[in-house]
Amino acid sequence: MTYQGVGASGGIGIGRVVRIVQADLDYSGVSFAGSEAEKERFQRAVEAFCAKTQEMAESMKTRVGEKEAEILSGQIMMLSDPFLQSQVEEAIDSGLCAEAAVDQVCGNFIEMFSSTGDELMGQRATDVGDIRTRMLELLLGVSTMRAAEAPAGSVLVAADFTPSMTVGIDKEKIAGIATEIGGKTSHSAILARALGIPAVLGVPNISKLLQDGQSVIVDGSKGIVLAEFDEHTLAEYEHLQQKEREAKRQLDAYRDCPTQDASGNRFAVYANIGKPEDAQAALEYGAEGIGLFRTEFLFMDRTSLPDEEEQYKAYIAVAETMAGKEVIIRTLDIGGDKDLPYLHLEKEENPFLGHRAIRYCLSNPEVFSVQLRALLRAGALHKNLKIMLPLITGVEEIRAAKELIETCKRQLQKEGAAYDADIPVGIMIETPAAARIADLLAKEADFFSIGTNDLTQYTLAVDRGNAKVEGLYTAFHPAVLRNIRDTITAAKQAGIPVGMCGEAAADKKLIPLLLAWGLDEFSVSPAAVLATRKTISEWSAQKSLATAQGAMELSTASEIESSLESST
Ligand code: PEP
Ligand code: MG
């Protein structure tokens, strides 16, 4: 059986299905067994909850940190609170089964905590929500498999992989990923690529079609998932997997050499990262710098905002790992498909066009300035950090952000704290508006980085995460290419550096165009650094210019893509 989806992270994964599906928490079939019996069931579930949570807290303490572990211990305290317990018992006395009583009481608490609008209370609401789900699972005897708990050799299958689910994944254990939702540049796809895990997204109903424990092959290059295959197919795929490993070994020759084209012109290949630990992998893969640190991942998988000290530690860790190499840190880019439940962001009709990224940060200066202060302080050590602002559409946004940066500098000065007074402030060009006024923006920004993932989505009005319109999502569209070309030209004219941190920077077919236009820095996922450097080395200046010229004379994405296909 072959299931077709979108190949979102290349490579072949062979393993057993582990479905990540929220267990059914419907308790309408549970009947009331009398007050005493229900109270006893409730108490047994409380005991099991506390024991399991204690275990999780201990593992969290060693794996992640003390602070995160405290959040879990806090949940034990909340559930053991005599007031909450008496409320549940009262609800049981009124004739509700334990499930209904827990649901009702937790629901009341959530409503009370969220109605205050206070951030701390909002976090409590998130915690009670988590307690309710896990208590209902215990009472109903069902469990939800969590991605971080999957055993070695697992192929994770889910309706969707939210970025926060992907964060807990141990890449050594996960052979592949298959989901129902998501496209090539959705954040789950980017994370899968960063982890080097083969992934096929957007396969209709895949989490219902496959069973736990079933053997499957994920072919991330072709975008297919195979189940119930014969010995011959398995042998073929094992052979392909072997060849892939061999090709990876051959790329090693490009690890320690400079990035240059066949004519000797110098370029740079940087890496995109999501966690401080990824910087080490980036170095091992031969990255010459970090072109995009997506800091929003520091804010995910937790129940409150990281404070200045925690952020400072994360940024300084990357600055130190990269030891003098350039590190571009993007400020908080939430909204769109990246939610932070504890912030209780308002649900929006069109989140990708809504109150996200720089817009959120500028209207929440108390959140933004914590990050800016941490960045300014971390920049003081090696002077190798740069601040990058996401989703810029106009000059006012850069000015407002820079004003806040100046205010933070003045505060730090007063406090006698060390900071980088000259930290460069650049912007992402990821909206058509920014590309169109790149000349104006270049007067205000110290550098550009082209975010083709969003630039393609916004230029073509195609949701980057929607498999239904995947066919329309292409960076080869002449409108997207013109936006890229004009942005690079504007940067060159203004004399500021220009990089690209969208996924297109690693596209073998697009690289000659980017070389011809003079892109300075290609920032790609760590696993793609060597292949990108190799491709760059294969193009002479003359050949890339001719290729770019030829491509830009064509009128459609498919004509351009096939012309580039045949010249590579
Ligand atoms: C982009 O939009 O191209 C980009 C690099 O940012 P993100 O994928 O995080 O939106
Ligand atoms: Mg973006």
CATH number, domain 268-567: 3.20.20.60
d(CA 433, CA 435): 5
Q: What is the pLDDT of residues 205-258, one digit of tens each?
A: 999 999 999 999 999 999 999 999 999 999 999 999 999 889 888 899 999 899
Task: Among 333, 391, 457, name the best residue to mutate to test ligand 1's pocket (greatest count of ligand atoms within 8 A of Cβ).
Answer: 333
User: Which structure tokens are listed for 314?
Assistant: 């994360």
Whether residue 98 is predicted with pLDDT greater than 60 in this model: the reply is yes
CA-333 nearest atom, ligand 1 = 9
Q: Which residue in 147, 145, 199, 196 sits closest to 172, CA to CA? A: 196
282 close to 512: Cβ distance less than 8 angstroms? no
**Which residues make Cβ contacts (< 8 Å) with residue 547, sequence separation at least 6?**
512, 513, 516, 539, 564, 567
Q: Which residue in 221, 215, 161, 175 sits closest to 7, CA to CA? A: 221
Main-chain dihedrals φ then ψ at residue 346, nearest 5 degrees: -65, 140
25-140 to CATH, choices 3.40.50.1220, 1.10.274.10, 3.50.50.60, 2.160.10.10 = 1.10.274.10
Q: What is the DSSP string of 315-334?
A: HHHHHHHTTTS-EEEE----
Residue bearing tokens 């960076």:
475
| Residue 191 banded pLDDT, cuts 50, 70, 90 | confident
Residue bearing tokens 């959120």:
360
For the segment 467-493, the average pLDDT, to the nearest whole number, is 96
Dihedral angle computed from the Cα positions of residues 444, 449, 451 and 456, in that order, rounded to the nearest 10 degrees: 70
178 close to 218: Cβ distance less than 8 angstroms? yes
**Which residues make Cβ contacts (< 8 Å) with residue 81, sequence separation at least 6?**
none
Q: How many CB atoms lie within 10 A of CB 508?
A: 15
Alpha helices in 395-451 (DSSP H): 395-415, 432-436, 438-441
d(CA 297, CA 167): 8
Q: What is the DSSP string of 147-187?
A: GGGPPTTEEEEES---HHHHHT--TTTEEEEEESS--TTSH
> 3-state class of 237 per DSSP?
helix
Q: Which residue has the higher pLDDT, 194 or 558?
A: 558
Query: Is 187 a catalytic site residue?
Result: yes
For the segment 142-153, the average pLDDT, to the nearest whole number, is 83
Q: What is the pLDDT of residues 503-522, one digit of tens each?
A: 999 999 999 999 999 999 99
- Whole-model pTM: value is 0.77
434 close to 393: Cβ distance less than 8 angstroms? yes
CA-based max dimension of the chain: 84
Specify the pLDDT at position 58.
81
What are the boundaries of each domain within the chain?
Answer: 25-140, 147-252, 268-567
Q: What is the DSSP string of 435-480?
A: HHTHHHHTTT-S-EEE-HHHHHHHHHT--TT-GGGGGG--TTSHHH
Question: CB-side exposure of 333: number of CA atoms within 13 Å?
Answer: 24
Q: What is the DSSP string of 503-552?
A: GGGG-TTTHHHHHHHT--EEEE-GGGHHHHHHHHHT--HHHHHHHHHHHH
CA-450 nearest atom, ligand 1 = 3
Main-chain dihedrals φ then ψ at residue 263, nearest 5 degrees: -95, 0
Whether residue 185 is predicted with pLDDT greater than 80 in this model: the reply is no
d(CA 144, CA 407): 46
Specify the pLDDT at position 63.
57
Mean pLDDT of the chain: 92
d(CA 464, CA 504): 13
Whether residue 475 is predicted with pLDDT greater than 60 in this model: the reply is yes
User: Which structure tokens are listed for 168?
Assistant: 């807990």
Which residues line the pocket of ligand 1, CB cutoff 6 A? 190, 292, 294, 333, 430, 451-454, 501-502
Could you say which of 97, 106, 187, 408 is catalytic? 187
User: Which structure tokens are listed for 69?
Assistant: 């572990």
Q: What is the pLDDT of residues 261-300, one digit of tens each?
A: 999 999 999 999 998 989 998 999 999 999 999 999 999 8
Q: What is the pLDDT of residues 351-384, one digit of tens each?
A: 999 999 999 999 999 999 999 999 999 999 999 9
Whole-Å CA distances, 566 to 269, 478, 551, 559, 562: 24, 18, 11, 11, 6
**Which residues make Cβ contacts (< 8 Å) with residue 312, sequence separation at least 6?**
374, 377, 378
d(CA 46, CA 61): 22
Q: Whose CA is nearest to atom 9 of ligand 1?
A: 294
Query: Is 97 a catalytic site residue?
Result: no
Q: Which residues on adjacent β-strands are paired with residue 207?
A: none
Whether residue 165 is predicted with pLDDT greater than 80 in this model: the reply is no
Q: Whose CA is nearest to atom 4 of ligand 1?
A: 451
Specify the pLDDT at position 167.
53
CA-502 nearest atom, ligand 1 = 3
Q: What is the pLDDT of residues 439-450, one digit of tens each?
A: 999 999 999 999
Ranges of beta strands (E only) in 31-163 are 154-158
Whether residue 64 is predicted with pLDDT greater than 60 in this model: the reply is no
Q: How many CB atoms lie within 10 A of CB 156?
A: 29
For the segment 298-307, the average pLDDT, to the nearest whole number, is 87
d(CA 42, CA 92): 9
What top-level class would CATH report for the domain 147-252? Answer: alpha beta
Q: How many residues does the chain have?
A: 568
Question: What percentage of the chain exceeds 70 in pLDDT?
Answer: 97
Specify the pLDDT at position 166.
58
Specify the pLDDT at position 48.
93
C-alpha angle 66-67-69 in degrees, rounded to nearest 5:
65
> 3-state class of 10 per DSSP?
coil
User: Which structure tokens are listed for 226?
Assistant: 């195979």
Whether residue 308 is predicted with pLDDT greater than 90 in this model: the reply is yes
d(CA 295, CA 550): 39
509 close to 548: Cβ distance less than 8 angstroms? no
Q: What is the pLDDT of residues 446-465, one digit of tens each?
A: 999 999 999 999 999 999 98
Could you say which of 106, 361, 408, 501 is catalytic? 501
Task: Among 338, 358, 430, name the best residue to mutate to test ligand 1's pocket (greatest count of ligand atoms within 8 A of Cβ).
Answer: 430
